Structures are given as C-alpha cells and as structure tokens.
C-alpha cells in the first residue's frame, strides 16, 4: 500500500511536470537569460504544478484518515491559493504586494486550522509566521538548478519520518512528487519550478512543520530550526543586508550566497549538492541532539552555535573570491 502511494505521487509529479513543460513551450512561458538570472538559454517555467496537483490529490484521499479533517482542508485551500497566485505570476508578472496579500490569507487559513486542531493560539501564531516566511523563502531561494526541490525533499523526508498518521503520508507524497520532478530540473534544468512550485513547496513545508511541532514537546522545538537552516540563513541575511543598504529588497537580485558561489564555481550542481550536504548534516545533528542526555538549554546553545557557524560560511561566500561571472544553466 505504501509503495503504491509513493508510486502514484511520483507518477503525478513526473507526469504533471512533463505536461507543464509542453504547455510552457507551446505558450512561450520561458525565463529568458538576463543579468539577474543564472541560466544562459530560455527555459520553461511552471514545472512545480505537478507537485501541487500530487499534494492536493493526496490530501483529498487522506481526509477520511485525518485526525482533524478541518485542519487538513484549510491547509489544502491555503496551498491551492499560494499555487494559484504563483501560476498567475508565471503567466504575467504580479505586484509583489498582491502576491504577499494572498500568501497572508493562506497563512491565516493554516493558523485557523492549527488553532482548531491544537487549541493553542501561540502555535497558531507560529503557523501564520512559518507559512508566510517559508513560502517566500522558497521562492527567493529558487535560483539555480535543483536547489529548492532538493532542500524541500530532505526537509519533508525527515518530517515524514517523525510524524504519525495522515500527515506522514502527505509528507511522503511530497517527497515522491519532488522525486518525479527532479529529472526535469537536474543536472541541467529543462523546466523550472516557477512561482507556482517554489511558493507551494514553502507553504507545504510550513504545514508539515506545524504538525511536527504540535506533536513535539516544546523542549524539542529548537531542534526543528535545524533542517531548514541553509535556506533560513541565506535568505534572512541576504534580505537583511539589502534592507540595511536601502535597496528595493522586494525586487529580483543575484546576491544570495548560493548565487555567488554558483557564479564562482561555474556549476549549479556543486552548490546544490553542498547545500544538500549542509542540510543532511543539520538533520544528523538534530537526530543526535534528540537522543543525547542534554538539557533544553544545552540544545538551544548547540542550535545557536550551528547558526553562528552557518553565518560565518555565508559571510565567507560574500567575500571578493566569490564574485565570479557567467554560470551555465
């Protein structure tokens, strides 16, 4: 049964991506090369729609098994909203503020479902912030081949292992759908996730994070800051730097550490693989800390030390050595 579930999600992810590529080519939905883009040939966008369809269908099938069906329904509606506004943006550019408004509505729906399921207003606030932040971070960080999809795969995998019940199956549906998408996106992209896919990945991960936090003692919450640390550090520090310099932070740019590294290395896969290793190391550290005889305060210290180390790497990647030009994609 479980293998059939994975195969169905993988098939929908792969088939949806293949159809999206044909549609994008027919309707000229192409990302053209440019100063702020890392590819050198026009490439179709919108391939993440297959992942979205797989997740929505999986959620509908799982509704009878869900402990709180309303929470799952609201999460699915929020996911559909994020994907829909991303799909529109893939066809014709929207104002970032309109997109953000839709993201806020979707985050509010996730918060309402969380409050209904857990009866905890603080966790509902966490759900709102996570949905708004991760939706946009995954969109910001989708700039080189494979990086957004592989990061989402690793994070969803560890959450799926940790969660029980219907939400675990939903997490594995996400993993399988991403596996179906990845052959079209690595080692050289034949289609990009697009806004429809990148934002949806972030929102889906936010919903899964909320579920794992709901089922964990609060002393373990700091551990769950580790799996997404690569994206959180790169996106947050880059955004903070742009705000500090008075730049139009909501406009496209190529200042993330992964973008600088890819330019210097002349390869996307080196950077995507390194970020995957970073996340795998964070997951390993989380596993060790979760089983070690260490106090909550000790866990917090280790997590902070990890983030300080990540910040040091980010600063290194913003040095003059990493200002290369021209990455093939």
DSSP string over 190-237: SS--HHHHHHHHHHHHHHHHHHHHHTS-GGGGGGGGSTTHHHHHHHHH
| Helix ranges (DSSP H) in 67-141 | 69-91, 96-118, 121-140
| Cα separation, 231 vs 224, whole angstroms | 13
Please calculate the CA angle 120-307-264 and round it to the nearest 5 degrees. 130
Whether pLDDT at 325 is above 70:
no
Residue 136 Cα to chain centre, angstroms = 9
Whether pLDDT at 245 is above 70:
yes
Whether pLDDT at 317 is above 80:
yes
- The segment with the largest mean pLDDT, out of 52-56, 89-93, 250-254, 324-328, is 52-56
Whether pLDDT at 143 is above 80:
yes
- pLDDT, average across residues 155-174: 96
Among the residue ranges 19-28, 30-39, 127-136, 286-295, the one predicted with the least confidence is 30-39
Q: Which residues pair with 30 in a beta bridge?
A: 44
Q: Which of 50, 44, 5 is nearest to 178 (CA)?
A: 50
The pLDDT confidence band at residue 263, using thresholds 50, 70 and 90, is: confident
Higher pLDDT, 41 or 115: 115
Q: So what's the pLDDT on residue 326?
A: 43
The pLDDT confidence band at residue 36, using thresholds 50, 70 and 90, is: low
Q: So what's the pLDDT on residue 266?
A: 83
Which pairing describes strands 30-31 and 43-44: parallel, antiparallel, or unpaired?
antiparallel
Written as six digits, the tokens of 92 are 């014709």
The pLDDT confidence band at residue 248, using thresholds 50, 70 and 90, is: confident
Q: So what's the pLDDT on residue 288?
A: 94
The pLDDT confidence band at residue 318, using thresholds 50, 70 and 90, is: confident
Query: Do the Cβ atoms of 275 and 258 come closer than 8 Å?
Result: yes
Q: So what's the pLDDT on residue 316?
A: 87
- Kindly report, residue by residue over 48-102, the tens digit of the pLDDT: 999 999 999 999 999 999 999 999 999 999 999 999 999 999 999 899 999 999 9
Q: How far is CA 3 from CA 8, 58, 155, 173, 298, in A?
A: 9, 14, 20, 11, 39
Whether pLDDT at 297 is above 80:
yes
Q: So what's the pLDDT on residue 329?
A: 41
| Cα separation, 310 vs 313, whole angstroms | 5
Whether pLDDT at 252 is above 90:
no
Q: So what's the pLDDT on residue 249?
A: 79
Q: So what's the pLDDT on residue 218?
A: 85
- pLDDT, average across residues 153-170: 96
Share of the chain above pLDDT 70, in %: 95
Q: What is the pTM of this model?
A: 0.94
Query: Do the Cβ atoms of 63 and 72 come closer than 8 Å?
Result: yes
Q: Which of 137, 127, 211 is nearest to 169 (CA)?
A: 211
């Amino acid at each position: 049964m479980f293998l059939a579930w994975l195969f169905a999600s993988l098939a929908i992810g792969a088939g949806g991506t293949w159809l999206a590529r044909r549609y994008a080519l027919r309707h000229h939905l192409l990302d053209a090369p440019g100063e702020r883009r890392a590819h050198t040939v026009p490439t179709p966008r919108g391939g993440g729609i297959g992942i979205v369809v797989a997740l929505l269908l999986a959620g509908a099938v799982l509704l009878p098994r869900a402990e709180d069906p309303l929470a799952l329904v609201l999460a699915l509606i929020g996911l559909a909203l994020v994907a829909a506004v991303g799909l529109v943006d893939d066809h014709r550019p929207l104002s970032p503020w309109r997109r953000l408004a839709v993201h806020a509505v979707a985050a509010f729906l996730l918060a309402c479902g969380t409050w209904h399921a857990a009866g905890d207003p603080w966790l509902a606030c966490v759900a709102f912030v996570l949905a708004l932040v991760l939706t946009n971070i995954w969109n910001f960080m989708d700039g080189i081949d494979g990086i957004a999809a592989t990061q989402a795969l690793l994070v969803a995998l560890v959450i799926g292992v940790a969660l029980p019940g219907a939400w675990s199956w939903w997490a594995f549906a996400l993993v399988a759908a991403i596996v179906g998408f990845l052959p079209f996106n690595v080692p050289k992209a034949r289609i990009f996730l697009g806004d429809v896919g990148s934002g949806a990945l972030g929102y889906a991960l936010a919903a899964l994070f909320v579920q794992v936090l709901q089922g964990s003692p609060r002393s373990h919450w700091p551990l769950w800051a580790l799996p997404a640390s690569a994206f959180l550090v790169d996106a947050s520090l880059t955004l903070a730097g742009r705000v500090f310099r008075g730049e139009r932070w909501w406009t496209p740019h190529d200042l993330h550490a992964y973008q600088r590294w890819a330019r210097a290395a002349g390869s996307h896969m080196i950077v995507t693989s390194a970020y995957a290793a970073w996340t795998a190391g964070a997951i390993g550290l989380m596993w060790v800390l979760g089983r070690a005889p260490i106090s909550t305060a000790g866990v917090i210290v280790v997590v902070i030390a990890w983030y300080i180390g990540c910040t040091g790497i980010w600063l290194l990647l913003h040095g003059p050595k990493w200002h290369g030009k021209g990455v093939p994609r």
